[in-house]
Amino acid sequence: MKAKYFSVWLVLVLMTLLSAACVAPAPAGAPASEAAPTAAESADAGESDERADWPEVFRLGLFGGDDAEQVLENNQPFADYMAERLGVEVDMFTGTSYTAVIEAMRADRVDAMQVGPFAYVLAVQEAGAEALGAGISTRAEPAVFDPTLPAHYYSIIFTKKGSGIETIEDLRGQDFNFVDPASTSGHLAPKTLLFQMGINPDEEMQTVFAGSHPTAVISVWNDKAPAGATHESNLYRLRDEGQIDFCGFEDNQTGKERSEVELRALYESCPEGHIVMLAMTDPIPNTPFAIRSNMPASFKAAVKEALLDIQNNPEMIEATARWYVDPSAELGLETLDQYYNSLRDIAGLLDLDLQELANQ
């Protein structure tokens, strides 16, 4: 029996020695836990290295318009989403004008911005902005992703029927509401359209800057001016909120090309005292989400991934009625920035000094 127990003991000792031989020894003086990091520990270390130069706070600049608090409230779900996706705090700031937000980016007080497509072109030149995605908004209720919606929109020249303005020609010598000097749909695109139609608004019209899109429309609605310019969806939104009576198209869609015949038929059928469209500009690229180009490459990639993934997030779309796309590949463009070259063409046509405009 003793021999039997001794044999068993000997086998156990040999097995222990063999097991120890299969394990690599830890470096001398190193704790056992530091000998060989696990795969999970290695992955965490790699992610930590990648995020080492990320900002602790991601600062987003927005145009405050007439109600900065409302702008912040409307964008809070987006800020919360980005904070969760990026793992960093997201703070929002509003500027009193487009150029104020551009200046904030130039001074590194904000890291990203959403302030209009022409303001983006200015920001590229003045603040090193880089477009990551073009925003698309939906009017569907409830809001759902719609891949058919285009990444462009239109500026509208409008009047209040009964004001004496029936055609673009009737605008000569009249008061007219633009929005902001750097506003694409509230100034530069409709100004280009007027030039194309043979009217010099600087010399043949009495133009003012109303300060925001809603104000430009409400002023005409209250008979303070006979006509103005704004983006198309602003007219539908003000109508839906009960602030104006507006003759829109029956399909209630924005971003859709309309012929002169269709616009004229809409004007003729519109009752007196309603806001009505007179003309539409060429398509305008949608407002981009732009970031400072000198931000870390891995951070920019993470922001872009989060933006483009919103279309797969029904809860976010329902909360914000907005998602982002990058149409550059399907349009054969090398970068998303090239999508905004039509606005640079407008600058050339109007002989604009972009730096002077940015400093107004």
**356 falls in which pLDDT band (50, 70, 90)?**
low
What does the mean pLDDT of the chain come to?
87
Q: Which residues of 44-77 are buried (b: 16+ CB within 10 A; e: fewer)?
A: eeeeeeeeeeeeeebbbbbbbbeebeebeeebee
Q: Where are the domains of the chain?
A: 57-144+286-358, 152-284
Across 165-177, average pLDDT: 97
DSSP-assigned letters across all residues of 161-230: TTSS--SGGGGTT-EEEE--TT-IIIIIHHHHHHHHTT--HHHHSEEEE-SSHHHHHHHHHTTSSSEEEE
In tens, the pLDDT along 230-268 reads 999 999 999 999 999 999 999 888 999 999 999 999 999
In tens, the pLDDT along 298-334 reads 999 999 999 999 999 999 999 999 999 999 999 999 9
CA dist 101 → 122, 126, 220, 298 (Å): 11, 11, 27, 24
CA dist 360 → 81, 127, 185, 320 (Å): 34, 15, 18, 31
Angstrom distance (rounded) from CA 296 to CA 130: 12
Write down the pTM of the prediction: 0.75
Query: Apex CA 310: angle with CA 309 and CA 311, to 5°?
Result: 90
**117-127 and 341-349 helices cross at what angle (nearest 10)?**
90
Name the CATH superfamily, with its identifier, for domain 57-144+286-358: Periplasmic binding protein-like II (3.40.190.10)
The beta strands (E) that lie in 67-188 are given as 89-95, 112-114, 129-137, 152-153, 155-160, 175-178
Name the CATH superfamily, with its identifier, for domain 152-284: Periplasmic binding protein-like II (3.40.190.10)
